Structure 1
Amino acid sequence: MKKIVTLLCIYTFFLGFSQQKELSIEDAVLGYYKGLYPSSLNNLHWVENTNTYVHQIENELIFTDAKTSTVTSKLTLEQLQKTYTSLKRFPRIATISSEEITFRTGNQIETYNYKTNEKVRLVTFDQHAENTEYNNQAKAMAYTLDNNLYIGTATNPRIAVTNIEDKNIVSGQAIHRSEFGIVKGTFWSPKGNYLAFYQKDESNVSNYPLVDINTYPASLKNIKYPMAGQGSEKAKIGIYSLQKNKTVYLNIDTSDEHYLTNLSWSPDEKYVLVAEINRGQNHFWYNKYSVKSGELIHTLFEETNDKWTEPEFDAVFLPKSNNNFLWLSERDGFMNIYEYTTEGTLVKQLTNFKWVVTGILGFSANGKEVFITGTGADPRESHTFKINLKSGKYTQLTTTKGTHTTLLSSEGNYLIDSYSSLSIPKNIEIIDTKKMKSTVIYEAKNPLKKYALGTTEFLTLKAADGTDLYAKITKPENFDASKKYPVLVYVYGGPHAQLVTNSWLGGSSLWMPAFASKENYIVFTLDNRGSANRGFAFESAIHRNLGDLEIEDQLVGVDYLKSLKYVDANRIAVNGWSYGGFMTTSLMLRNPGVFTTAVAGGPVIDWKYYEVMYGERYMDTPQENPEGYEKTKVANYIKNLDGKMLIIHGSVDPVVVPQHSMTLLQEAVKQKVQIDFFTYPMHEHNVRGIDRAHLVEKMLDYILVNNK
């Protein structure tokens, strides 16, 4: 192990010095329901095509002019109730224009003219609807019932888009296990004339048995779960015409089980663009299809990589253009923006940042600038920028250090900027994107001011190859450097996740600083190689060998902890969930003697039991990479257990299926190794609701008893 270098503790989060009130673990876990997280503004929206924003205070919707900061009008619940007598509280707004608001009540979409106090439209749909997506242009709601897709309109609540009896064929839902940035299964066209939708054929996917213990007797609940190296789903894309009541399917042969993703419409509704990724996930083709015929027009471009290709964003067309669009790609090592035409011509690489672009917000009124989000120079932060589309010159609009979430007004004149940092609970500002002036409209109070909580500090350590590794350390409120403290290392460590962020609590759950102060513990977290927002080289270094570099980096953190005089090096525990469960069990078993105690939740124990889309991206198939799969198999190391280990699993986990933990327990029995196990009946991958307090208390109690 190379020498560790501590660069700088950048921020310190002080919650006070004289507070006496102790925060219980249960209250910390349920903190969102108990007002222990920073407050915000409700129903915060831009009014479409204006410089007016709205927010809700109690039962009033307040309209404010962003330029003058003056309140221009109000809409009260009492006013709404004159038209909607059944409303008990102010509804959550879906869209708002200069005259109308749209909101949902049960299985209805209401459109209300708040200028004339009249109902404009009522769209109804089935009360059992799932995967709903309303479109204002179409004045229709897309939704699913079981495996079929429907549309509800003002005149018909249940128009069948598909009517397929075979339950293996699923329409209108997210496909490919929601990988590749897929979050839904329906895609309305820009003018609302068409609905594109995903369809998956799961005939080749094995059933996985889960058991419902709440029936008498217990009953079998099969789910479709494609495991690495086995049969996967076959995808299709349908395009339904609302006017013709007809569906055209794109002519794509997916018998090879390749992926269809990043579906985008051209503004003129003539074409859809689709990223088609081979099952090996090292090559994709960006293809243009005819909406009318469903036929392939041509391939715009291709990307290959010897590790993986993972397009995650749809095309964003330039204003008033049916031909030019922006595309996000990691091809140069960081997520950057490229301009293409629908003929496949690369116009230019718009950005060449050595940091990660995370999204496109919109454009200026004159169409000369695009607004984007990204990390900026510090990967622990999130900011908003404007970029000149011609020159590529950019300006950072959010200047306060921290994590910013922004909403752009329709014409790009103003931003609503909501942000936090280690020292700022939550501020909301209005930013003039031309004058670069900001006005604070909300400052949340510190909800933890009365509690005895300590400090969180940021650290930068060095990996063995010199790579910067970001970490955070939380100390108890009454910290005394002359004493020795036990440590809890909290780990995730997997792709698409980042635990160390310059946000409120440093990105930690509230139970962590509560536990630190209540039990006089140090809590430590490090983002190892493989985690998010550091660029492709950092994230892809783990390819085919999950666990190796991640463990190496986590041990850098452990060595740093051991170098601190106030750390009891003989009392270090580790805890994590999901990929963090894989990391927790791997750290404990592959490095005996380093940790006294491990608590792993929903752990991946054998990657061949994990899903095709995620597992094969990072590990290839078990047939292609048998050595990698064998090395990462946690059960192979159970005989090394030196200390106490608790495994926790939801009994109906559909993500990391229970087979993972069962195989580890089976091997422990075979090797005559004693480990502990607890299941949460009828909970899925995450233990949610009030039961989560039980989970966290169980984890922490186990650590307190055994980390000695």
Structure 2
Amino acid sequence: MRTILLASTILLSAGSAVAQESPSNILTPERVFSSPSLNGPVAKGVSLSPDGQLVAFLRSREDNVDVQDLWAAPTGEGEPYKLIDARALVPDAGELSEAEKARRERMRISARGVVDYSWDQQGRYILAPLEGDIFLASRADGKVRRLTETAADEIDAKVSPKGNYVSWVRDQNLVIYDLATGQETPITDDGAGLIAWATAEFIAQEEMDRDTGYWWSPDERYIALTRVDESPVDIVPRFEITGTGATMVEQRYPRAGRPNALVELYVRDQQTGARVKVDLGSNTDIYLARVDWADDGKTLYVQRQSRDQKTLDLLSVDPATGASRVILSQKAQAWVDLNNDFHVLADGRFIWSNEDSGWRHLYLYDRNGRQLRAITRGDYPVKHLDGVNEQTGEVYFTASMRDGKELPIEQQMFRASLNRTVDPVAVTPAGGWWNVSVNGPATAYVGNYSDPKTPPQSALYRIDGTRVRWIEENRLDADHAFAPYVSRLRTPEFGTIQSHGETLVWRMTTPPDFDPSKKYPVVMQVYGGPGTGAGVQKSWQPLTNQLLTEAGYIVFRVDNRGEGDRSQAFETSLYRRLGLPAVEDQALAAKWLKTLPYVDPDHIAVMGWSFGGFLSLLTLTDKDADLAAALAGAAPTEWSLYDTHYTERYMSTPQDNPDGYAATDVLPRLDDLTGRLLILHGMADDNVIFGNATRVIDALQAKSTPFEMMLYPGQRHGVRGEPRQLQQWRTYLDFLDRTIGKRAEPAAD
């Protein structure tokens, strides 16, 4: 269950005070959901060319924030320029295939135009899929070459490491395109129906952060590729309801406790054409988690996760024969989290992270899997390995910490040593939220920074933190799109609450012209689910938060147990009872809010989407929270209806944990609703199936319980496009206005 940002899944009303004609410095939903973006020119997907001379990035068009072009900027002198103009190359975008729609939904890609790109290892080419076809930009002459123009979509396109080939998946088969000859060669030909080659299956895409199903070796001799057989997976019939009708979709959906797809791994020798099967063991009911090549292309590393997710094995594979051996295993009593920290060094040693200390840290291993030393240590988790400079022996990683202790609300990049265990040194400044992308040799990085007063900025830096050039300075000055509204932008307050021996962090934003002698209604924003990053951050906040404060609401968020990158104990507290510790913490926060002199205790609502929708429902049925209203979007309402990898990680199977599944079912709690409810759901949702909503709708109607509902024909797990998002926000603010806001009944004396 990947996070759906609250900013894209909340709502307003044409009848609310905010939506009426208002002073020019008051932010309105109409302005938030129109172009150009009020966030300013934000660079997305920023990367440095392998030769270090060019920075590429995606930028939304000024005339349509939902369409992206590919831009580039020299790392030295010179202005950024548009490398690929999406609308110039494909003026009429047309419809994507159902397979590509589903893939983008899994990857949470809502934009059109250029949504992804990749370099070859020499930096000669940039490959960009565009509206189902493949385009190649040449660094030498700046020309853009169209490689495909077919009725079928080409997906998951890549430039081979040395830049001799381009590869993609078409109609469930892998195709190789020779750039020198222009010749296409199908690598597989029997992909069809329930068989797909070189494609990440539903579970890998949605829950395992693996979006590809094939991997080139660095020398281009081999390609490792998956074969996915979906025939064991249950068919879950669902209606895909649009504005013009309905289609019955017989979706292969692997629900908790039920069979998964069969995933095999093969290696094809590009010199001989031979294909060998990789030995993944006799048990086929496993997860293929990660695949990596050694630098010399002579060893393939495979991460194999057990079905119960308590064991993660690292296999060393001979690509010529497919023979494998387990060189390292990670084990846990609850579950072993997947990560992208595995990094092979040139001499065969490798870096990998684990949580054996109770916190995720980096360790150095020899080529046979023997641990040599800890690279990091302390009471904080390493979030991810960013890069390794093998010449200097420096290791770079991202963490939320200060002085060796966790600091969840900030994020920085740090430097450690490959050769000895030392206290890390911060590379990026403290005080806000950094995301970085380090180049291959770890001599430079692209840094993306924001804080509550600074919209997202991107720049190129030397590895010591010296800024080389801005990519998007995005200065919040008088010319910035957000300038008219900045005077009413409130700086959030941060604090902590103690719960069950754990420290919960919170963020509170008060309305403009806040008067602590008055009482205000509160909107509690929730996600609350595990396996995601922190929600409470010292970063630039969604502009929709300001819509809420302009409407007179205090906006509050607390990261409950299980949410965010924290200690192993903090996360595993929810094991076999997913959602219950979260609602305990949200109820605790609600009770604390009611003690504040400026909070109206009878006018508190909770709102969330996906897991946040589930948690909103739980919190509205919790008597300790005693809330006035909830806005629940795309909520999973009974965990046996959700997918295997996510659900079984936290709940085991319904057969093994029937009491846990029963305790977290929303239906038995509906008699305990403490306030008004708004249910929202996409009517083509293929992730949290619409049946999750209809079972609650049916139960409430059977109980004669009034509630409100907003359904979105044709929309999947997220509501896309400015017009519909505007409608969402209008609906949300209208509901809040009537239940806890200006039009709500005054609190009893």
* Structure 1 and Structure 2 fold alike (TM over 0.5): yes
Match of 2:156 in 1: 131
Q: Note if 1:163 corresponds to 2:189.
A: yes
Q: Is the 8 A contact 1:138 1:191 kept in 2?
A: no
Distance 1:265 1:97 in 2: 14
Give me the CA root mean square deviation.
Answer: 3.2
Q: CA deviation at 1:626?
A: 0.7
Are residues 559 and 146 of structure 1, via their aligned partners in 2, closer, same or farther at CA, if it must alter by over 3 Å?
same
Match of 2:247 in 1: 219
Choose from 281, 289, 292 the match for 1:261: 289
Are residues 463 and 183 of structure 1, via their aligned partners in 2, closer, same or farther at CA, if it must alter by over 3 Å?
farther
Q: Note if 1:460 corresponds to 2:495.
A: yes
Q: Note if 1:685 corresponds to 2:720.
A: no
Q: Is the 8 A contact 1:472 1:524 kept in 2?
A: yes
Q: Is the 8 A contact 1:46 1:96 kept in 2?
A: no
Match of 2:578 in 1: 546
Distance 1:147 1:92 in 2: 20
Q: Note if 1:275 corresponds to 2:303.
A: yes
Are residues 120 and 550 of structure 1, via their aligned partners in 2, closer, same or farther at CA, if it must alter by over 3 Å?
closer
Which letter maps to 1:315?
F
Unaligned runs of 5+ in 1: 1-18, 66-70
Which letter maps to 2:702?
K
Match of 1:587 in 2: 619
Secondary structure at the counterpart of residue 585 of structure 1: helix
Q: Note if 1:249 corresponds to 2:283.
A: no
Q: CA deviation at 1:474?
A: 1.3
Q: CA deviation at 1:554?
A: 0.9
Q: CA deviation at 1:50?
A: 4.2
Q: Note if 1:413 corresponds to 2:443.
A: yes
Match of 2:214 in 1: 186
Which letter maps to 2:645?
M
Are residues 289 and 414 of structure 1, via their aligned partners in 2, closer, same or farther at CA, if it must alter by over 3 Å?
closer
Q: CA deviation at 1:337?
A: 0.9
Are residues 553 and 91 of structure 1, via their aligned partners in 2, closer, same or farther at CA, if it must alter by over 3 Å?
closer
Q: CA deviation at 1:34?
A: 2.6
Choose from 655, 664, 667 the match for 1:623: 655
Secondary structure at the counterpart of residue 613 of structure 2: helix
Q: CA deviation at 1:275?
A: 1.6
Which letter maps to 1:384?
M
Are residues 317 and 218 of structure 1, via their aligned partners in 2, closer, same or farther at CA, if it must alter by over 3 Å?
same
Which letter maps to 2:257?
G
Q: CA deviation at 1:370?
A: 2.0
Choose from 499, 503, 517 the match for 2:539: 503
Secondary structure at the counterpart of residue 701 of structure 1: helix
Are residues 390 and 22 of structure 1, via their aligned partners in 2, closer, same or farther at CA, if it must alter by over 3 Å?
same
Q: Is the 8 A contact 1:148 1:171 kept in 2?
A: yes
What do the CA deviations read for 1:98-145 (whole angstroms, capped 9, x no partner)? 98443437534435353xx48798755756212222324253233222
Distance 1:702 1:576 in 2: 14
Which letter maps to 1:448?
F
> Structure 2 matches for 1:306-705, cutoff 5 A?
306-313=333-340, 315-318=342-345, 320-321=346-347, 323-364=348-389, 366-377=391-402, 378-393=407-422, 394-434=424-464, 437-438=466-467, 441=470, 443-446=473-476, 447-451=481-485, 453-497=488-532, 498-505=534-541, 509-517=542-550, 519-591=551-623, 594-690=626-722, 691-705=724-738
Which letter maps to 1:609?
L
Q: Note if 1:290 corresponds to 2:318.
A: yes
Q: Note if 1:63 corresponds to 2:89.
A: no
Distance 2:503 2:444 in 1: 36
Distance 1:56 1:216 in 2: 34
Q: Is the 8 A contact 2:122 2:163 kept in 1?
A: no
Q: CA deviation at 1:240?
A: 2.2
Q: CA deviation at 1:475?
A: 1.0
Q: Is the 8 A contact 1:592 1:640 kept in 2?
A: no
Distance 1:587 1:90 in 2: 40
Distance 2:174 2:335 in 1: 32
What do the CA deviations read for 1:71-114 (whole angstroms, capped 9, x no partner)? 2x679779x99xxx979999997438998443437534435353
The 10-residue stretch of structure 1 (439-448 or 380-389) with the greater mean CA deviation from structure 2: 439-448
What do the CA deviations read for 1:137-186 (whole angstroms, capped 9, x no partner)? 25323322233332233235542222225522222222334333323222
> Structure 2 matches for 1:189-200, cutoff 5 A?
189-200=217-228
Which letter maps to 2:41?
S
Q: CA deviation at 1:611?
A: 0.5
Distance 1:74 1:217 in 2: 49
Q: CA deviation at 1:706?
A: 2.0
Are residues 478 and 264 of structure 1, via their aligned partners in 2, closer, same or farther at CA, if it must alter by over 3 Å?
same
TM-score by length of 2: 0.82
Q: CA deviation at 1:253?
A: 4.5
Choose from 328, 331, 353 the match for 1:301: 328
Which letter maps to 2:353?
L
Secondary structure at the counterpart of residue 617 of structure 1: helix
Unaligned runs of 5+ in 2: 1-22, 62-69, 92-112, 745-749
Match of 1:14 in 2: none
Q: CA deviation at 1:657?
A: 0.6
Distance 1:598 1:55 in 2: 39
Q: Is the 8 A contact 1:93 1:101 kept in 2?
A: no
What do the CA deviations read for 1:529-553 (whole angstroms, capped 9, x no partner)? 0001112111111101112211111
Q: CA deviation at 1:336?
A: 1.0
Q: CA deviation at 1:688?
A: 0.9
Q: CA deviation at 1:469?
A: 0.9
Q: Is the 8 A contact 1:300 1:343 kept in 2?
A: yes
Distance 2:606 2:307 in 1: 35
Distance 1:400 1:440 in 2: 20
Q: CA deviation at 1:462?
A: 2.3
Which letter maps to 1:149?
L
Match of 1:110 in 2: 136
Distance 1:685 1:99 in 2: 36
What do the CA deviations read for 1:216-256 (whole angstroms, capped 9, x no partner)? 86331222111111122221112222222332221235654
Are residues 600 and 406 of structure 1, via their aligned partners in 2, closer, same or farther at CA, if it must alter by over 3 Å?
same
Q: CA deviation at 1:279?
A: 0.9
Distance 1:90 1:630 in 2: 45
Q: Percent identity?
A: 24
Secondary structure at the counterpart of residue 511 of structure 1: helix
Q: CA deviation at 1:327?
A: 0.8
Are residues 91 and 98 of structure 1, via their aligned partners in 2, closer, same or farther at CA, if it must alter by over 3 Å?
farther
Are residues 254 and 667 of structure 1, via their aligned partners in 2, closer, same or farther at CA, if it must alter by over 3 Å?
farther
Match of 1:208 in 2: 236
Match of 1:9 in 2: none
What do the CA deviations read for 1:418-473 (whole angstroms, capped 9, x no partner)? 21112222444554435x54466363232433126342423322233232111111
Choose from 30, 43, 50 the match for 1:48: 50
Q: CA deviation at 1:61?
A: 5.4
Q: CA deviation at 1:663?
A: 1.4
What do the CA deviations read for 1:397-431 (whole angstroms, capped 9, x no partner)? 10232111223345433333221112222444554
Q: Is the 8 A contact 2:243 2:713 kept in 1?
A: no
